[in-house]
Amino acid sequence: MIGAEVTFDVALPKIVWGWLVSTNMWAKSIATGTFLLGIYFIKKYPEQDNFFRKWLPILGLIFIGITLLVTVLDLHHIFRFWKIFFHPHFTSAVTLGAWVVSAFVIVLLISFWSWATGNKKLLDRVMIPGFILAFFSTIYTAGIMGEATAREVWVFPSEMISMLLSAMLAGSAAYLIIDALYGNILQEKVRRELGYILFGSAGLSAAMFIGELFFAKMHSEFSYEVVKVLAFGEVAPFFWIGIVFAFIIPMMLVGIANEYRRYRYAWIASIFALIGLWLIKHAWLIAPQTLPLS
């Protein structure tokens, strides 16, 4: 006897977590990345801190707002979202994430108030808790993906590292874009450092993805099939365009920008990086969902 094929099965939804979840992760990378990098640059370059004290809360609130909006929109019971606070189940990374992000929103609001009133001490007081909350806001989704055991390629801690790198990539790209939009108001050394962070995080992220794709040991048939879907299957266009947009082009352009002091290339690199980041997150999210589990 040769071959076997399924001749009858009952349809179940294929993609359960779609573009809303991809957007959640993408926007959260920007919100947390701008906070983490903002704190770093405020500390390192206090003479330039006005830029970061202004844009850290503004970008943070806009993008964490998008994150929360798409998260609630993705619920099938939108108006029951409050139950996560009143009936929490603390073994779930979803619950932990909801609490951490809510606390992070409070820190962002304080940061905004600090900038609006010119009371710098206010932000200084919440820097450390804010840094911790931004860090955990970035990685909690990796915890969720790690708990989603049906999709074996979403593995903690590699997801966690990937998400931290995404935050660095998105944060540096967002600041470079704002800097360019407002006529290069940052000092050159700050702009260059943002470029290096973008370059480094793109390079390390690319290495992780390519390493996992071509060199990692596949522990199961499922993982092997997911890699095939990503590299050659229906998700491949998202994945490869994402790799090129998020990592390859930004590395080249930022390299040119920093080497030849042509900083408009860094701005273009940042646009590519943010578009590519969404594509790569979307590819990574939906690829394991295309395989049958039953």
**Which residues sit at the interface with another protein, rule CB under 8 A?**
1-18, 20, 73-77, 80-81, 83-84, 87-89, 91-95, 98, 144, 147-151, 220-222, 225, 289, 291-294
Q: How far apart are CA 74 and CA 94, in angstroms?
A: 13
Q: How far is the CB of 141 from another protein (least distance, A)?
A: 11
**Quick one: 20 or 204, whose CB is closer to another protein?**
20
What is the rounded end-to-end Cα distance, in angstroms, of the chain? 23
Q: How far is the CB of 47 from another protein (least distance, A)?
A: 44
Pick the closest to residue 127 from 29, 52, 48, 61 (CA basis).
52
Instruction: Give the number of other CB atoms < 10 A from CB of residue 54.
Output: 16
**Quick one: 95 or 158, whose CB is closer to another protein?**
95
Q: How far is the CB of 225 from another protein (least distance, A)?
A: 6
Q: How far is the CB of 25 from another protein (least distance, A)?
A: 14
Give the helix ranges, DSSP H, for 75-187: 83-86, 93-117, 120-147, 158-181
Provide the CB-side half-sphere exposure for 66 (13 A, CA): 19
Q: How far is the CB of 226 from another protein (least distance, A)?
A: 11
**Quick one: 75 or 106, whose CB is closer to another protein?**
75
**Quick one: 73 or 181, whose CB is closer to another protein?**
73
Pick the closest to residue 206 from 253, 239, 172, 254 (CA basis).
239
**Quick one: 17 or 238, whose CB is closer to another protein?**
17
